[in-house]
């Protein structure tokens, strides 16, 4: 409401001087004047007009956080505590660094471009972008961008990313399942691309089998339907005697828990009839019975890492390319039995 000009009047100085204290252009303003202006600023609860700021500075101190998926797609993604946990962490970290946060869910590359361009975004955090789309997205986007959970494995010039040690996670779980005597397992993924982090996890499983002289071929990688009732049908087939697999390994706790629930409704005993493993270690994996054996990841850390990486890139232009892989660890609980 109140403008720089009015503040300047009250303080008996020019608008430029006020602008200078506002922008921390200290050294250009004498201390007494600066203090006087600062006092008026808080007293009036001054709020800058971001429109004018963007126009003059070509930069909005705003970060766009994009959930890269169909807005009306699989809404269960949002029922997974993962989403709000990482969004909350991102928001808190941006906030404490003085950035605004714009939230958008889309799978339209042009829309991402338009957002970043319209708002002169300082940076972008993109969640769940399939790796094969990164290149074309980067060509459109002007500001620093961090990709979260895009499963980048090799060098990608000019790309910043935060992900997980997916392969190691799969490997650890794979070895554990083998050590428990499982040979007939299937990996159930919630993403179907061969380039997704789910597939990376699966590759870890494959390596674990290979190390034991066993084989886990690609037929054992099964993408899950995004439609709930189709998933239920699928679970039912897995739980039909004779059970085709001794263990079902899920790429997300959310679906592991959903499946356990269904298996039990069908009268199956977990893990006596079928073993189940997850990935994420969300709160509910500890709450379900049997407690879920899973791979732990630190979701909040993922969010704060993404923000910190982005801010370094924005403010220092520092890492040209950087890929952070957060560690995972096996959480052995009760849903995997010994054969």
Partner DNA sequence: CTGTTAGCGCATTCAA
Partner DNA sequence: TTGAATGCGCTAACAG
Q: Which residues bind a second copy (CB under 8 A)?
A: 1, 45, 47-55, 60, 65, 67, 71-72, 75, 77-81, 83-85, 87-88, 91-92, 95-96, 100-106, 110, 113-115, 117-120, 142, 257-258, 260-261, 264, 282-284, 286-289, 300
What's the half-sphere exposure (Cβ side, CA atoms, 13 Å) at 59?
9
Residue 105 tokens, joined: 């869910």
CB of 130 to DNA, least distance (A): 31
Q: How far apart are CA 151 and CA 317, in angstroms?
A: 23
- In the bound state with a second copy, the residue whose beta carbon lies nearer, of 90 and 249, is 90
Residue 213 tokens, joined: 């002289």
SS3 track for 199-251: HHHHHHHHHHHHHCCCCCCHHHEEECCCCHHHHHHHHHHHCCCCCCCCEEEEC
Contact partner, 284, from a second copy, DNA, none, Cβ < 5-8 Å per class? a second copy
CB of 318 to DNA, least distance (A): 20
Contact partner, 4, from a second copy, DNA, none, Cβ < 5-8 Å per class? DNA
What's the CA dihedral at 153, 155, 159, 165 to 10 degrees?
A: 30
Contact partner, 289, from DNA, a second copy, none, Cβ < 5-8 Å per class? a second copy
Residue numbers of the site for DNA (CB under 7 A)? 3-5, 12-17, 19-20, 22-23, 27-30, 33-34, 48-49, 51-53, 55-57
CB of 27 to DNA, least distance (A): 5
Helix axis angle for 253-265 and 228-238, nearest 10°, is: 60
Contact partner, 207, from a second copy, DNA, none, Cβ < 5-8 Å per class? none
Count of C-beta atoms within a 10 Å radius of residue 80:
19
Contact partner, 161, from a second copy, DNA, none, Cβ < 5-8 Å per class? none
CB of 78 to a second copy, least distance (A): 4
- In the bound state with DNA, the residue whose beta carbon lies nearer, of 59 and 261, is 59
- In the bound state with DNA, the residue whose beta carbon lies nearer, of 34 and 262, is 34
Can you tell me which residue has the tokens 């079902």? 248
CB of 10 to DNA, least distance (A): 12
CB of 49 to a second copy, least distance (A): 7
List, in sequence order, every residue forming a beta bridge with 295; answer none if it has no partner.
Answer: 330
Burial of 291 (0-12, 13-18, 19+ CB in 10 A): middle
CB of 82 to a second copy, least distance (A): 8
Can you tell me which residue has the tokens 């298996």? 263
- In the bound state with DNA, the residue whose beta carbon lies nearer, of 27 and 213, is 27
Contact partner, 142, from DNA, a second copy, none, Cβ < 5-8 Å per class? a second copy
Burial of 308 (0-12, 13-18, 19+ CB in 10 A): middle
Burial of 274 (0-12, 13-18, 19+ CB in 10 A): buried
169-182: b or e for each residue (b if 16 or more CB lie within 10 Å)? bbbbbbbbbbebeb
Contact partner, 15, from a second copy, DNA, none, Cβ < 5-8 Å per class? DNA
Contact partner, 66, from a second copy, DNA, none, Cβ < 5-8 Å per class? none
Q: How far apart are CA 270 and CA 109, in angstroms?
A: 43
CB of 118 to DNA, least distance (A): 8
């Amino acid at each position: 409401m109140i403008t720089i000009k009015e503040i300047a009047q009250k303080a008996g100085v020019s608008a430029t001087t006020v602008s200078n204290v506002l922008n921390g252009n200290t050294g250009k303003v004498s201390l007494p004047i600066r203090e006087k202006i600062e006092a008026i600023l808080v007293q009036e609860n001054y709020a800058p007009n971001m429109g004018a700021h963007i126009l003059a500075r070509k930069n909005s101190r705003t970060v766009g956080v994009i959930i890269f998926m169909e807005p009306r797609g699989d809404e269960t993604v949002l029922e997974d505590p993962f989403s709000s946990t990482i969004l909350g962490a991102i928001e808190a970290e941006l906030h404490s660094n003085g950035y605004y946060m714009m939230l958008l869910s889309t799978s339209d590359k042009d829309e991402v471009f338009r957002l970043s361009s319209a708002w002169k975004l300082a940076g972008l955090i993109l969640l769940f972008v399939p790796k094969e789309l990164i290149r074309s997205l980067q060509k459109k986007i002007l500001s620093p961008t961090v990709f979260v959970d895009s499963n980048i494995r090799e060098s990608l010039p000019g790309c910043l990313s935060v992900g997980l040690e997916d392969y190691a996670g799969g490997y650890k779980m794979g070895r554990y399942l083998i050590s428990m005597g499982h040979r007939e397992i299937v990996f159930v993924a919630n993403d179907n691309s061969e380039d997704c982090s789910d597939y990376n996890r699966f590759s870890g499983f494959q390596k674990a089998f290979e190390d034991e002289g066993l084989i886990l071929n690609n037929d054992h990688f099964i993408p899950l339907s995004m439609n709930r009732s189709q998933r239920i049908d699928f679970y039912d087939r897995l739980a039909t005697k004779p059970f085709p697999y001794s263990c079902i390994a899920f790429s997300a706790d959310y679906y592991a828990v959903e499946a356990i629930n269904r298996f039990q409704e069908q009268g199956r005993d977990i893990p006596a009839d079928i073993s189940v493993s997850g990935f994420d270690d969300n709160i509910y994996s500890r709450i379900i019975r049997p407690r879920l054996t899973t791979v732990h990841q630190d979701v909040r850390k993922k969010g704060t890492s993404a923000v910190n990486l982005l801010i370094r890139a924005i403010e220092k232009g520092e890492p040209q390319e950087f890929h952070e892989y957060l560690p995972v660890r096996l959480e052995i609980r009760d849903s995997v039995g010994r054969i």
